[in-house]
Structure 1
Amino acid sequence: MIPRNYPVGSKVAFALVFLFSLPLSFSTGALQEGSSQIQAADRGSQERRIRSQEVVFVILSQRNSFHVERAHKRKASLIQQAENIRQSIPTVLLLHSLSDNEGDWSILPLLPFFSASYGRNSSWIVFLEEETNVKLDKLLEILGKYDAKKEWFLGKPLQDEESTIIHHYAFADNPSAFKYPDFGAAWALSSPLVNRLAEKLKNDPLKSDFTIDLKHEIALYIWENGNGPALTAIPELCTDPEDHPRAWRCATTLDTPLPLCGDPVKKEDVFVAVKTCKKFHAERVPVVKKTWEKEAALLEYYSDHADPSIPTIDLGVPNTERGHCGKTFAILKRFLSDSVPQTDWLLIVDDDTLISLPRLRALLSCYRSSEAVCLGERYGYGLSQGGYSYITGGGGMVFSREAVTKLQGSGCRCYSDDAPDDMVLGMCLSALGLPVTHSPLFHQARPEDYAKDYLAHQVPISFHKHWNIDPVEVFHKWLVDDKRDKNSKQAQEGGREEL
């Protein structure tokens, strides 16, 4: 646990904030010339077998009980493996337990702590997801190939094929030039790099800003416009399933991409609220009806206009062009009223969200509706300065009844009807001390906005936006189980080898 007097930031008050996606351009010249002088030398001149106590493992755990249990199992596996190969027990940290600071999941604010606590006595810090399997002896062998006295950033590289809004259109002239790590495969920083970055953070604190795609943003921060190391590709860091034919060569593999902890939640236990407005009744609502509406037992469309042909319900909140806070809070209130059947779960989606309800119900089997669960794709605002996390609305926001009850009972309200609903909810949850639970299976953007290798090891639950796509085709390709499973199998059989 980080000492309470450690400078990890303080809570921020409610603020009026709006996200403007400003196109940013990064030059690829430095990448083409070589990432930095720091990596002028290749691997260490002499490979050596490093010891487990030289490695600090950080499991990117979350506070929800399901995730805590998974993280403890991963920790126990690492400790057992060390004992099996007659190594000392390594240091294994659970991210959610390091402090009460909301920004810990963004990792960068914790670098001073990692440096101060482990920078002198450890050679590597390895970050892994709760679902990342590690073959400890093989990982130690791989790390031993690199001179830990130099600055190294190791991982499985992802790259964009085209510039994308979720990365602020970075490297617009050549998006594939920049590589960033697939967190599912684990990634590692050498201690000299951690120590230097920690010192940089002390002298130049992180600015308050949005955290959207952490893996890309961390790689950018480390790269420092060519002054720091670029990601070094490690073929043995894999995202194949543990039983895949290629997995014997891997130091890391992945668990099942869609967790199933029992029978899927029943259709009747999920109430679906679709946010729409009159101008999209003819354009977007038909897409919902052609795709995923039939999988919902309980669904209502909420609009600024009552249209009995759909039907839609007018909540008495006028349509707004920016945020939809007034409408969302009206939905939360209605969910707890006698106007709708009582269910354990509430799903709120936009009218241009594509979602697989069967996959969502399977995922929800891992969560307890008696807990205050707030689930979706997690973004952050001002995390380095005591900010807050929020579920980005386009990918779908899932709340247990207990979470909605606590939100409504808190007195938290919108400061205006057109405030950003997802961000206001994030501020409310932060004030209540309720965690935002992240799942990478929810997506705020379209499939083409994500790296292909990243989606290849997922069974996605949702995508968002109809820009320049056929949404019905996208739904059937990515979110219908029989076709998706077939495509995934073909991709694994015909895809290029990782080694």
Structure 2
Amino acid sequence: MWLTAVNWSLCFFFGSASVHVEQPAQRSAELEELVIVIQSQRNSYHVQRSYQRKEEILQEAANLGQGVPVVLLLHELSDYEGNWSILPALPLLSAIYGESASWFLFIEEETTAILRVLLKVLKRYPVQEEWFLGQRLHDNKPSIVHHYAFSEDPTSFGYPDPAAGWALSAPLYQRLAERIQYENLKSDFTIDLTHEIALFIWEDGRGPKLTSVPEFCTETRDNCATTFTTYLPNCGDPVSKTDIFVAVKTCEKFHSVRIPVVKSTWEKDATHLEYYSDVTDASIPTIKLGVPNTEKGHCGKTFAILRHFLSEAMPKVDWLLIVDDDTLISLPRLRRLLRCYDPKEAVSLGERYGYGLMQNGYSYATGGGGMVLSRMAVSSLVSSGCSCYSDDAPDDMILGRCFTSIGVPITHSPLFHQAQPDDYLGTRINPQHSISFHKHWNIDPVAVYRNWFQDSHLRDEL
């Protein structure tokens, strides 16, 4: 009986005490505690678009009268080009804003943030906890773009649609900023930004998964916190066909297999086009540059093309497009995109990958998706003396390293694709008016061209 009384007394004591313990209040985010990072690029067109987006956000904040968020253009954070991959930038972002920011929101230049809705959304998630928010995407099948991750069940892993924006709460970004300073990434390559960030955050199941937020939108609908315009902006009439020179890299063993595909699909949309091979074939015709064929890399051939482009024998045009013989491309869409860029500026444009970005590495435009260079970029690179360490070095990576060394930024467009259409999530590529795809493995390339590009010269120029 005594023991029972004692036990009852202890239970009563601790139970009563627990009633009086004050739990920390669940604090909601305020607008001035929000840092909006616009994933801007150094090219002048993208700088202009980013400043326009920043002014729109600040104007909306002024109209709301509920405080002013920090709006940061990513390219202004530091001189390091690799900040576009976000993870290298986290320690600096945390050091500058970590004491005052409850949330970081990352958006693209064409993403609109509706602050009054965004604030309501963020208030649902206590800022004391780790949150990773966005519009959830998942692969439907294993993809080479994602290194075949989660091959047994690709749908099990979610990553955010970059066009809809994505957000990190303070406890999460602070922990990530610490991790990134001592932990190596599993791959030296940065290919699909938000998928790789989601993998790093997930930390093999030890970290949080992405929380899907329906108000993070790409298409405009009721109650959206973010919306997205387009990856293919309208900057005016497309550049003239005569302003683009197309260089197709090929070799003898593919003359009868791949060149007929080019000729039956997109060659007709080019005014200036030449095929560069290891042999002369008058039936195509091809041009022999005096560089032996290599099974990989093709750096020697590409640098020979760059020098040839600047020679007196060539038409003096604004843009050089270098593609593989198994690249499928819409030249009308490319002409429309190029209207946004100044050919007097050193421009290197394509699908941007990164190599060793956590170790002060470099970015490059992937070769298979097509590398677009302004005449100024070609001239700057050739005159720099930068060159291949061997003929079979990876040409796109060497070009990226050279451009980095001379201060020419790699400008990204997700309309270019290093892989085939089926390697990408349909919801990400269907709305984009894609410009290119690459490789003929296990597909009918003519059918792929017809499906994606056949009428592009009609649809895109109306």
Corresponding residue of 1:61: 40
Corresponding residue of 1:211: 190
Corresponding residue of 1:325: 299
Instruction: Confirm whether residue 271 of structure 1 aligns to residue 245 of structure 2.
Output: yes
Corresponding residue of 1:227: 206
Corresponding residue of 1:89: 68
Give CA-to-partner distance per residue, 1:65-109, whole Å, 9 cap, x none.
Answer: 000000001100110000111122210110001111121111111
* CA distance, structure 1, for counterparts of residue 90 and residue 393 of structure 2: 34
Residue of 271, 288, 292 corresponding to 1:314: 288
Instruction: Confirm whether residue 105 of structure 1 aligns to residue 84 of structure 2.
Output: yes
Helix, strand or coil: the match of 2:54? helix
**Map 1:354-365 → 2, pairs under 5 A:** 354-365=328-339
Corresponding residue of 2:11: none
The answer (yes or no) to whether the contact 2:138–2:155 under 8 Å persists in 1 is: yes
Give CA-to-partner distance per residue, 1:402-456, whole Å, 9 cap, x none.
Answer: 0000011001111111010001111110110110000010000011101111113
Give CA-to-partner distance per residue, 1:33-73, whole Å, 9 cap, x none.
Answer: xxxxxxxxxxxx99986421111000000000000000001
* CA distance, structure 2, for counterparts of residue 207 and residue 101 of structure 1: 21
Counterpart of 1:63, as a letter, is R
Deviation at residue 251 of structure 1 after TM alignment: 1.5
* CA distance, structure 2, for counterparts of residue 204 and residue 257 of structure 1: 34
**Map 1:157-236 → 2, pairs under 5 A:** 157-206=136-185, 209-236=188-215
* CA distance, structure 2, for counterparts of residue 226 and residue 276 of structure 1: 45
The answer (yes or no) to whether the contact 1:381–1:387 under 8 Å persists in 2 is: yes
Corresponding residue of 2:411: 437
TM-score, length basis structure 2:
0.92
Deviation at residue 255 of structure 1 after TM alignment: 1.4
Give CA-to-partner distance per residue, 1:221-250, whole Å, 9 cap, x none.
Answer: 00001000011111111111x4xxxx2332
The answer (yes or no) to whether the contact 1:272–1:346 under 8 Å persists in 2 is: yes
Instruction: Confirm whether residue 381 of structure 1 aligns to residue 355 of structure 2.
Output: yes
Rg (Cα) greater in structure: 2
Counterpart of 1:478, as a letter, is W
- The number of aligned residues is 437
User: For residues 46 and 81 of structure 1, do their structure 2 counterparts lie closer, same or farther at Cα, with a shift above 3 Å needed?
Assistant: farther
Helix, strand or coil: the match of 2:432? coil
Corresponding residue of 2:56: 77
The answer (yes or no) to whether the contact 1:162–1:172 under 8 Å persists in 2 is: yes
Residue of 135, 138, 141 corresponding to 2:114: 135
Query: Which ranges of structure 2 fall in alignment gaps of 5 or more residues?
Result: 1-23
The answer (yes or no) to whether the contact 1:208–1:384 under 8 Å persists in 2 is: no
* CA distance, structure 2, for counterparts of residue 302 and residue 413 of structure 1: 19
- Residue identity over aligned pairs, in percent, reads 62
Deviation at residue 208 of structure 1 after TM alignment: 7.2
Query: Which ranges of structure 1 fall in alignment gaps of 5 or more residues?
Result: 1-44, 487-499
Counterpart of 1:293, as a letter, is E
Segment of structure 1 superposing worse, 447-456 or 415-424: 447-456
Residue of 271, 286, 291 corresponding to 1:297: 271
Deviation at residue 111 of structure 1 after TM alignment: 1.2
* CA distance, structure 2, for counterparts of residue 182 and residue 439 of structure 1: 15
The answer (yes or no) to whether the contact 1:95–1:104 under 8 Å persists in 2 is: yes
Helix, strand or coil: the match of 2:429? helix
Residue of 395, 398, 401 corresponding to 2:372: 398
Segment of structure 1 superposing worse, 47-56 or 307-316: 47-56
Deviation at residue 114 of structure 1 after TM alignment: 1.9
* CA distance, structure 2, for counterparts of residue 146 and residue 207 of structure 1: 30
Counterpart of 1:380, as a letter, is G
* CA distance, structure 2, for counterparts of residue 482 and residue 206 of structure 1: 40
Corresponding residue of 1:146: 125
Deviation at residue 480 of structure 1 after TM alignment: 3.1
Corresponding residue of 1:12: none
Deviation at residue 483 of structure 1 after TM alignment: 10
Deviation at residue 484 of structure 1 after TM alignment: 10
The answer (yes or no) to whether the contact 1:208–1:383 under 8 Å persists in 2 is: no
* CA distance, structure 2, for counterparts of residue 483 and residue 306 of structure 1: 32
* CA distance, structure 2, for counterparts of residue 483 and residue 432 of structure 1: 36
Corresponding residue of 1:353: 327
Give CA-to-partner distance per residue, 1:366-399, whole Å, 9 cap, x none.
Answer: 0000000000000111111111111110000000
Instruction: Confirm whether residue 425 of structure 1 aligns to residue 399 of structure 2.
Output: yes
The answer (yes or no) to whether the contact 2:330–2:456 under 8 Å persists in 1 is: no
Counterpart of 2:315, as a letter, is P
Helix, strand or coil: the match of 1:253? strand
* CA distance, structure 2, for counterparts of residue 176 and residue 130 of structure 1: 28
* CA distance, structure 1, for counterparts of residue 379 and residue 431 of structure 2: 35
The answer (yes or no) to whether the contact 1:114–1:194 under 8 Å persists in 2 is: no
Segment of structure 1 superposing worse, 446-455 or 61-70: 446-455
Corresponding residue of 1:452: 426
Deviation at residue 485 of structure 1 after TM alignment: 6.4
Instruction: Confirm whether residue 336 of structure 1 aligns to residue 310 of structure 2.
Output: yes
* CA distance, structure 2, for counterparts of residue 87 and residue 225 of structure 1: 39
The answer (yes or no) to whether the contact 2:27–2:127 under 8 Å persists in 1 is: no
Give CA-to-partner distance per residue, 1:147-182, whole Å, 9 cap, x none.
Answer: 111000001111111111111111111111111111
User: For residues 200 and 61 of structure 1, do their structure 2 counterparts lie closer, same or farther at Cα, with a shift above 3 Å needed?
Assistant: same
Give CA-to-partner distance per residue, 1:182-209, whole Å, 9 cap, x none.
Answer: 1000000001001111122233355771
User: For residues 117 and 191 of structure 1, do their structure 2 counterparts lie closer, same or farther at Cα, with a shift above 3 Å needed?
Assistant: same
Counterpart of 2:209, as a letter, is A
- Give the number of the structure with larger relative contact order, counting CA–CA contacts within 8 Å between residues 6 or more apart: 1
Counterpart of 1:389, as a letter, is S
The answer (yes or no) to whether the contact 2:332–2:456 under 8 Å persists in 1 is: no
Segment of structure 1 superposing worse, 57-66 or 143-152: 143-152
Deviation at residue 322 of structure 1 after TM alignment: 1.1
Counterpart of 2:117, as a letter, is K
The answer (yes or no) to whether the contact 1:47–1:146 under 8 Å persists in 2 is: no
User: For residues 484 and 231 of structure 1, do their structure 2 counterparts lie closer, same or farther at Cα, with a shift above 3 Å needed?
Assistant: farther
Counterpart of 1:349, as a letter, is V
The answer (yes or no) to whether the contact 2:28–2:125 under 8 Å persists in 1 is: no
Helix, strand or coil: the match of 1:394? coil
Deviation at residue 213 of structure 1 after TM alignment: 1.2
Counterpart of 1:97, as a letter, is E
Counterpart of 1:444, as a letter, is Q
Helix, strand or coil: the match of 1:57? strand
